[in-house]
Amino acid sequence: MREIKIRTAPFSKDWSEYIQGKREEAEAQTFENEFFNVFGVNRRKVATFEAKVVKLDSDNGYIDLLWPGYILIEMKTPGKDLDNGMCQ
């Protein structure tokens, strides 16, 4: 837990300064890899980018990151409608 706390502060500071006014697509995968690193987890070993899903309107879509049974991440550019990312 101590190591996580040590890695959290620089991660949070770096991204809070950087992300303002940026597009989600530009840095989503870098953010997610660095997020997993905060917890000492190698993302490539447990989670997949752009996992195919069926959205609530029955259309196909993609989730930014999926670690089955643990975490699902759908990122949006600040100010974008989150409902567009909903899946079943």
- Structure confidence at residue 9 (pLDDT): 93
- Is residue 47 within 8 Å of residue 36, measured between CB atoms? yes
pLDDT value of position 88: 47
Give me the residue label for tokens 């006014």.
Answer: 21
Tens digit of each residue's pLDDT, the chain (88 residues)? 999 999 999 999 888 877 666 665 678 899 999 999 999 999 999 999 999 988 888 899 888 999 999 999 988 766 666 666 555 4
Q: How far is 35 from 3, CA to CA, in rounded Å?
A: 13
pLDDT of 20 reads 65
Query: Which DSSP symbol is given to 84?
Result: G
Q: What's the confidence (pLDDT) of residue 19?
A: 67
End-to-end CA distance of the chain: 33
- Cα separation, 5 vs 17, in Å, equals 19
DSSP 80: S
